[in-house]
Chains A and B, each alone.
Chain A
Amino acid sequence: MSWPAFFIWLCLTLLLGFGTNIVNQQTNEVRREVERLTEVKELNSEKLQILEVQWVHLTNPEFIRELTEENFDRLWMVPGTNLDYGSIEDLPYYKESQKDENQ
């Protein structure tokens, strides 16, 4: 093998080694980043889960009923029933439109 060919091979080998080293460093960085993100994700999933459970606990129908009872004097909130359904004739705009049509 001639010297130029040997030199080219040598350069390629060095380049390959250098490139491999860079890829290795990048891989390690990405791995560390993934580990960090995984930890953050786990932590956030855990927080989210806790918040979801807290939200359901604070908005559960039984709790809301107790709150409406406690604040009845202030809010006058009563459960909805069949009597709360209205007729379309009860709507103000409907009455007005009927008047307009009659005129």
Chain B
Amino acid sequence: MVSWTGIRKKYFGMDPVSTRSFRLKFLVFFILLAFVAVGIRMAYFAIDPGQNSTLNRTDNLNKVFNRGDILDRNGVLLASNLPAYSIYAHPKEIEKDKIDDFLDALEAIEPPIRFDRDREKQRLLSDKNFVWIHKRISPDQSQQVNKITIKGIYTGEREVRVYPNGRLAAHVLGGTTFGEEHVNKAEIVGVAGVEKYFNDLLNNNDSGRTNLELSIDIRVQQILTEMLDLGIKRFGAKGGSAVLMNVHTGEIISLVSLPDFDPNRRAEFITTDTKNHNPLFNMVTQGIYELGSTFKIFSAAMALDKNYYKRDSIISTLPIQVRGKEFKDYRNHTEMTVMEAVARSKNTAAIRMALDVGTEAQRKFLMDLGFGTKSGIQLQESSSPLVPSQKQWTNLTLATVSFGHGMSITPLHLASAYAILVNGGYKVYPTLLRANGIEEGERVISPKTSRDVVSLLLNVVENGTARDTRIKGYLVGGKTGTSEKVGPSGEYLEDKNFVIFASVFSGKEPNYSLVIMLDEASAGDGSDYERQAGSTVVPLTGEIIARLGPVLGVIPENQLPEAITLASK
């Protein structure tokens, strides 16, 4: 028999005693090796207990809520997640004679779960392996479902998106739906608004949840929504929109489009009705309109900036012919200063100023204001302006565009353009994200022209078509506009219009631009005068600014010196 001792003796010449000694040394060597290995490992844990350890479980701490929250500029929660459950069934496992008992029990749950009994019964009677019964029930309802002891019915955990402010800022937030769904997990996917635009960012939880901080102020949003709704009811309008922007940063403080919807139940508002306003339609960013006389300030601004005119230059408002077409104003065919012409909203003065500047310069100026492209707002629901091509931009186009016809933009484009005109003349880009400071863009007009434009706008409210916006303490500037709707065959409808008021406040260095638009508003019996902006949207804007000012921290002009003194003390 061959043994290890024999081998050692035969091949290595070792006797049994030295063999035993070798064995012992061999054993001690391995024990020492094990000792050193375990010691190193223990020292390793002592130095850094967290590294590569199974104790490091922070990755699972937030396993229930994965999608980031959406907050307003003051940190108020606008969108968040809540635990919820789904009910699902394996029809093949269900005893068919117990289906009615199950449906009875389901109907008895409080608060009630909405479902179609006949439809669910058919589905449960089928031979399918799997059917969803309800995808969104509360934990309380889930507990009640679990008490129904019927084989083949199950509940699964998931998270759902909630909007605790309901309809407020619905068009900004948009909404979500379920993406990839499993019985114990459901992916939340944005389908509209910032939920869609920032979907990847909100769902990215590689380094913890990412919250989104918006520029919206929910208090301002509520006031604007409430007041716009009031205006719609008061003037019998079909709908309306409002957008408030910080003229220095481009931050959208509030964006309202009415009618609106509840993002918690967005799917229920999807409609095929084309007669009434679609509540999902965002008039501020999706609607493109000829914004009428609000454009006249652009004609004046470029004429002032190119030094063709000064504020007190005399300009004719007599009828004018452009390429064979005569343009004239309603009345006052005379001469007046540029300031008066803007205040009285004279088409002919706007045409004359634009003609002096020329088609190429006018087109470039309007493109510099951002009218050539989408507004750049972080919403998928945004439209491109309808702008004549360079070839189409003749003197006739110049004439109509000078007073706001022949070119369609969104109300958001208008708010941005007014912001540029009054902020010192530099370009701003509308944003729904909270800005950390002012970043001056490229210059569009000179600071002097910007100051002149502010004085023109203040004069429209002081002496022109927007006198009903005057409110105690705040110096508001603005320009009215009325735009006739276009009929199905492209003709203008004389008795149906949009009224617009683009305003800036407060004072000679305004911080905010506000554009309010009403669809088919009338202050009385629907006469031409009562359907004008001056009778409808102008007084409404005054009331709105009176409410918004204190919330925005705008100190009334007549209080300013004392307030500064008080602060400095």
Task: Give the B-binding residues of A (Cβ under 8 A).
Answer: 1, 6, 9, 12-13, 16, 19-20, 23, 27, 30-31, 34-35, 38, 41-42, 45-46, 49-50, 52-54, 56-57, 60-62, 65, 79-89
Is B436 close to A, CB under 8 A?
A: no
B168 within 8 A of A: yes
Knowing A1-B28, A65-B226, A82-B472 are in contact, say whether A42-B55 is a contact too (CB < 8 A).
no
In the bound complex, CA of A42 to CA of B62 (Å):
7
Q: Identify the stretch in B74-82, B98-106, B379-387, B419-427 within 8 Å (CB) of chain A at 4 or more residues.
A: B74-82
B489 interfacial by beta-carbon distance below 8 Å? no
Given A6-B28, A12-B35, does the pair A53, B162 have CB atoms closer than 8 Å?
Answer: yes
A42 lies within 8 A of B64 (CB): yes
In the complex with contacts A46-B64, A65-B222, A80-B550, A53-B76 CB distance below 8 A? no
The interface residues of chain A lying within 8 Å CB-to-CB of B549 are 81-82
Q: Is A88 touching B562 in the complex (CB atoms < 8 A)?
A: yes
Least distance between B69 CB and chain A CB atoms (Å): 9
Within 8 Å CB of B83, what residues of A?
Answer: 46, 50
Q: Please, which residues of chain B bring their CB within 8 A of the CB of A13?
A: 31, 34-35
For window 26-77 of B, CB contacts with A under 8 Å fall at 28, 31-32, 34-35, 38-39, 42, 45, 54-55, 57, 60-65, 76-77
A sample of 5 cross-chain residue pairs with beta-carbon separation below 8 angstroms, ordered by A number, consists of A1-B24, A38-B60, A53-B82, A82-B474, A85-B556
Query: Which residues of B have CB within 8 Å of A38?
Result: 57, 60-61
CB atoms of B546 and A49 under 8 A apart: no
B213-229 residues with Cβ-Cβ distance < 8 A to A are 218-219, 221-223, 225-226
- Asked whether B14 is an interface residue with its Cβ less than 8 Å from the other chain, the reply is no
Question: Interface residue tally of chain B, by bracket?
Answer: 35 or more
User: Most chain-A CB neighbours within 10 Å: which of B45, B82, B545, B555?
Assistant: B82
Interface of B: prevailing SS: helix
Q: How far apart sit A17 and B398, CA to CA, in the bound complex (Å)?
A: 93
Are A87's CB and B562's CB within 8 A? yes
User: What residues of chain A lie closer than 8 Å to B57, measured between beta carbons?
Assistant: 34-35, 38
In Å, the complex CA distance between A64 and B200 comes to 34
Kindly identify, within residues 439 to 493 of chain B, every residue whose CB is under 8 Å from any CB belonging to chain A. 471-474
Nearest residue (CB) in B for A80 is: B550
Q: Which residues of B contact A87 (CB under 8 A)?
A: 558-559, 562
Give the contacting residue for B82; candidates A9, A50, A83; CB below 8 A.
Answer: A50
User: Is B38 touching A56 in the complex (CB atoms < 8 A)?
Assistant: no
Distance from B274 Cβ to chain A, minimum over Cβ atoms (Å): 29
Residues of A within 8 A of B167 (CB): 62
Residues of A close to B556: CB separation below 8 A: 82, 85
The listed residue (A34, A41, A60, A88) touching B55 by CB distance below 8 A is A34
Separation in Å of the A29 CB from the closest CB of chain B?
11
In the complex, chain B residues whose CB is within 8 Å of the CB of A53:
77, 80, 82, 162, 164
**Beyond A56-B164, A87-B559, A87-B562, is A45–B35 a contact (Cβ under 8 Å)?**
no
Q: Does B547 contact A (CB under 8 A)?
A: yes
What's the nearest-Cβ distance from chain B to residue A25, in Å? Answer: 14
Answer yes or no: B270 CB below 8 A from chain A CBs: no
B165 contacts partner chain A, Cβ-Cβ < 8 Å? yes
Nearest CB in chain B: distance from A67 CB, A? 13
Question: Would you call B17 an interface residue if the criterion is a C-beta within 8 Å of the partner chain's C-beta atoms?
Answer: no
A16–B546 contact, CB under 8 A?
A: no
For the complex formed, measure the closest distance between the CB of A22 and the CB atoms of chain B, giving whole angstroms: 11
Contact A45 B64 (CB under 8 A): yes
- Bound-complex Cα distance A85 to B82 (A): 41
